[in-house]
Chain A
Amino acid sequence: KQEVTQIPAALSVPEGENLVLNCSFTDSAIYNLQWFRQDPGKGLTSLLLIQSSQREQTSGRLNASLDKSSGRSTLYIAASQPGDSATYLCAVIWYNQGGKLIFGQGTELSVKP
């Protein structure tokens, strides 16, 4: 079964710290992997999309990596700020699945001032 797992479920760090969020997935035949941010009571905002042929993507203080062979992706956040506090969701599209996103359960991040 194709599944996505995120550990830990929650993370609390002091402001300024660099941090890594983890995502693992079964079945390496992915089409792409996406990282989203969700603020409480809101929809999802796309942060980064890594295509199957890519190893990483960067946007500002965010860097996402992809290792298909080990079924892992990481989201690196540099110099964390209180405004980064949110839930971060990892999602995968596998080939021949109609473009369906399969989501992990998310990591709730709290950055303390």
Chain B
Amino acid sequence: DGGITQSPKYLFRKEGQNVTLSCEQNLNHDAMYWYRQDPGQGLRLIYYSQIVNDFQKGDIAEGYSVSREKKESFPLTVTSAQKNPTAFYLCASSPRPGQATSNQPQHFGDGTRLSIL
């Protein structure tokens, strides 16, 4: 079955530590997205990538970094510069905007819950 896999499901970060969240998709989608969800605030976009080797900052990119070396993978690193990392992180993918198939919903993974030790 095609889908998006996020790992781990739960992650704990120590003070000053960088941690990386994994996101893999086998839907052959060009575009991938990372969102952060805090209670009562909905989802906010961290980074997005429309094609391999290219990505753009979203609304809350400070303290985060990404890479897009393969179409299937879009890992998110939460750096020590992110002072309030505790949140639920969701990865999504979709056909690239502008493609004939682009009017399709974004597919989401099951999320990673990050907490501070």
- Hey, which bits of chain A sit against chain B, CB under 8 A? 9, 31-32, 34, 36, 41-46, 49, 51, 89, 91, 93, 98-106
- Say whether B16 faces chain A, with CB atoms less than 8 Å apart: no
Of all chain A residues, the one with the shortest Cβ separation from B103 is: A51
Report B-chain residues with C-beta under 8 Å of the C-beta of A51. Answer: 103
| CB-based contact B58/A41 at 8 Å | no
Write the B79-117 contact mask toward A (1 if CB under 8 angstroms, else 0).
000000000101010101100001111111111010000
The complex places the Cα of A34 from the Cα of B45 at a distance, in Å, of 16
The complex places the Cα of A78 from the Cα of B31 at a distance, in Å, of 34
The complex places the Cα of A9 from the Cα of B40 at a distance, in Å, of 9
| CB-based contact A101/B97 at 8 Å | no
| CB-based contact A99/B45 at 8 Å | no
Of all chain A residues, the one with the shortest Cβ separation from B30 is: A99
| CB-based contact A99/B94 at 8 Å | yes
Of all chain B residues, the one with the shortest Cβ separation from A35 is: B105
| CB-based contact B103/A99 at 8 Å | no
- Say whether B43 faces chain A, with CB atoms less than 8 Å apart: yes
Q: Which 5 residue pairs across A and B have the least CB separation, nearest first?
A: A99-B97, A46-B105, A43-B108, A105-B42, A44-B108
- Say whether B48 faces chain A, with CB atoms less than 8 Å apart: yes
The complex places the Cα of A32 from the Cα of B97 at a distance, in Å, of 11
The complex places the Cα of A106 from the Cα of B38 at a distance, in Å, of 12
**Cross-interface CB contact of B31 among A34, A89, A99, cutoff 8 Å:** A99
| CB-based contact B113/A100 at 8 Å | no
**Cross-interface CB contact of B111 among A43, A93, A100, A102, cutoff 8 Å:** A43
Of all chain B residues, the one with the shortest Cβ separation from A46 is: B105
**Cross-interface CB contact of A42 among B31, B92, B102, B111, cutoff 8 Å:** B111
Contact of A101 with B50 at beta-carbon distance under 8 Å, contacts A43-B90, A43-B108 already known: no
- Say whether B33 faces chain A, with CB atoms less than 8 Å apart: yes
The complex places the Cα of A31 from the Cα of B106 at a distance, in Å, of 13
- Say whether B53 faces chain A, with CB atoms less than 8 Å apart: no
19 A-B pairs within 8 Å (CB atoms) are namely A9-B40, A32-B103, A34-B105, A36-B105, A36-B108, A43-B6, A43-B108, A44-B90, A44-B106, A45-B108, A89-B42, A93-B97, A99-B50, A100-B33, A100-B58, A103-B42, A103-B43, A105-B40, A105-B42
